[in-house]
Amino acid sequence: MRALVDSGADCSCFPEGFAGALGIDLGECEQNHVHTGNGLAVHYCASEPLRATIAGRETLLTASFGPLGVPVLGREDFFAEFLVEINHPKRVVTLTPH
């Protein structure tokens, strides 16, 4: 899947509609009130992280779900695993594992 790299996000978060496909019941998740770029929102956080392969490296991402249109990759999980370099003129993002 495609996701946005978001240095303003504390952790990675996925649209609520992705939860079922990933085997997560939002009714069993902890509800958290969070501040987002669009104001206050309720996010649902599962007790177990999501296992993902990014740039050939297996990593764990926070299983957080909220009212988003696209997945975002945040600081506490994604940025902790990768150095992210953005070459805006060439429209290239380079990920280097730490």
At 37 the pLDDT is 81
Structure tokens at 45: 């956080």
pLDDT in tens, 26-66: 999 999 999 888 889 999 999 999 999 999 999 999 999 99
CB neighbour class for 64 (10 Å; exposed up to 12, middle 13-18, buried from 19): buried
Number of domains in the chain: 1
25 contacts: CB under 8 Å, gap ≥ 6: 19
Q: Which domain holds residue 46?
A: 4-97
Q: Is the pLDDT reported for residue 1 higher than 90? A: no
Write the CATH number for 14. 2.40.70.10
Q: Which residues pair with 57 in a beta bridge?
A: 54
Per-residue confidence band for 78, with pLDDT thresholds at 50, 70 and 90: very high
Say what the pTM is. Answer: 0.88
Counted residue by residue, the chain has a size of: 98
